[in-house]
């Protein structure tokens, strides 16, 4: 059983056929998908039962009482789509090509009347239930959604609807969201207490004290400002303090 077939059967509850109705290309349909024929190299899957055959032509008549044309129409398949496996279609194509130029072929050419055949056809027979245009539109929509451009999102800043992979609808909203996040982070940030500031200044930035303050959520910017040193100097002096988990001293 092919991976494609497993996905179809897994999408359905048990192994019961999906009821027929108004369907679009790609919708579950029986044991397959509407408008799509699961053709393998040596077999083709039937929409009416969970079996695979080299050719569905005789099977649909004997098992389901449908002609090939009725089967195609019921499951949204183009009238020109072969109901045979890929290898069998190739074999029949080679056999047909080999007959070109034979005595039987010459009799056929003499007897055929293309104009009369065209005039006898119903105009509706030229249109497939699942036309190529519908298929192309479906594939464009699928690819659009996979690329992230097809999902409608709501911008968290201005509330506008947009499509795309970005978190906001525009660069202006992205800047506003970044600033808002910085303000919220600053509002929840732990501030240095008066006694902590005095300890830092008295000890000149004891690494144990700095380490404890960093662990409690104080920022390097605020500590370096209290010590009167630049951020780069602070980074050189206390770079190990951020990742050190052995803290056994308490701020006095």
Mean pLDDT by 10 residues, the chain (252 residues): 49 42 80 90 92 91 90 89 91 87 85 81 60 64 60 84 82 87 73 85 86 83 87 79 41 37
User: How much is the pLDDT for 162?
Assistant: 81
Structural domain count, the chain: 3
d(CA 76, CA 99): 32
| Ramachandran angles phi, psi of 17, nearest 5° | -60, 150
The last residue of a domain, from among 88, 120, 146 = 146
Query: Do residue 178 and residue 223 come from a single domain?
Result: no
Torsion, Cα of 46, 47, 50, 52 (10° steps):
10
3-class secondary structure, 45: strand
Q: Are residues 16 and 112 in the same domain?
A: yes
Domain that holds residue 200: 194-238
Helix (H, G, I), strand (E, B) or coil at 184: helix
Instruction: Output DSSP code: residue 120.
Output: T
Same domain, 132 and 20: yes
Whole-structure pTM value = 0.39
Tokens 């002609």 correspond to 67
Residue 89 and residue 34 share a domain: yes
For 205, what's the count of Cα atoms within 13 Å in the CB-facing half-sphere?
A: 17
Q: Looking at the domain assignment, is residue 246 inside a domain?
A: no
Question: Residue 246: its pLDDT value, please?
Answer: 39
The neighbour count for residue 219, using CB atoms within 10 Å, is: 16
141 and 225 co-located in one domain:
no
Do residues 167 and 102 both lie within one domain?
Answer: no
Is 249 within a domain? no
Q: Are residues 38 and 69 in the same domain?
A: yes
Q: Is 222 exposed, middle or buried (0-12, 13-18, 19+ CB in 10 A)?
A: middle
Lookup: tokens for 5: 């077939």
Strand locations in the chain (E):
28-29, 32-33, 44-45, 52-53, 152-154, 161-163
Are 182 and 210 within one domain?
no
CA 109 to CA 63: how far, in whole Å? Answer: 36
Give the C-alpha separation, 179 to 73, whole Å.
Answer: 59
Residue 138: what pLDDT?
67
pLDDT for res 148? 54
Asked whether residue 112 falls in the same domain as residue 48, the answer is yes
């Amino acid at each position: 059983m092919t991976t494609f077939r497993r996905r179809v059967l897994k999408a359905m509850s048990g192994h019961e056929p999906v009821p027929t109705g108004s369907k679009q290309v790609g919708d579950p349909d029986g044991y397959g998908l509407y408008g799509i024929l699961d053709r393998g190299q040596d077999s083709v899957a039937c929409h009416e039962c969970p079996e695979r055959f080299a050719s569905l032509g005789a099977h649909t008549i004997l098992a389901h009482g449908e002609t090939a044309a009725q089967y195609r129409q019921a499951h949204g398949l183009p009238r020109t789509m072969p109901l045979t496996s890929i290898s069998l279609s190739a074999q029949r194509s080679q056999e047909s090509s080999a007959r070109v130029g034979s005595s039987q072929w010459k009799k056929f050419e003499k007897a055929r009347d293309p104009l009369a055949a065209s005039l006898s056809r119903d105009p509706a027979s030229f249109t497939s239930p699942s036309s190529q245009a519908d298929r192309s539109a479906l594939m464009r929509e699928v690819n659009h959604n996979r690329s992230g451009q097809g999902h409608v999102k709501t911008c968290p800043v201005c509330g506008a609807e947009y499509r795309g992979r970005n978190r906001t609808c525009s660069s202006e909203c992205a800047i506003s969201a970044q600033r808002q996040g910085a303000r919220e982070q600053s509002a929840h940030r732990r501030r240095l207490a008066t006694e902590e500031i005095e300890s830092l200044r008295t000890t000149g930035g004891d690494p144990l004290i700095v380490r404890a303050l960093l662990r409690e959520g104080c920022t390097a910017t605020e500590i370096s400002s209290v010590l009167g040193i630049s951020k780069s100097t602070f980074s050189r002096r206390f770079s190990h303090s951020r990742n050190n988990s052995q803290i056994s001293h308490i701020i006095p």
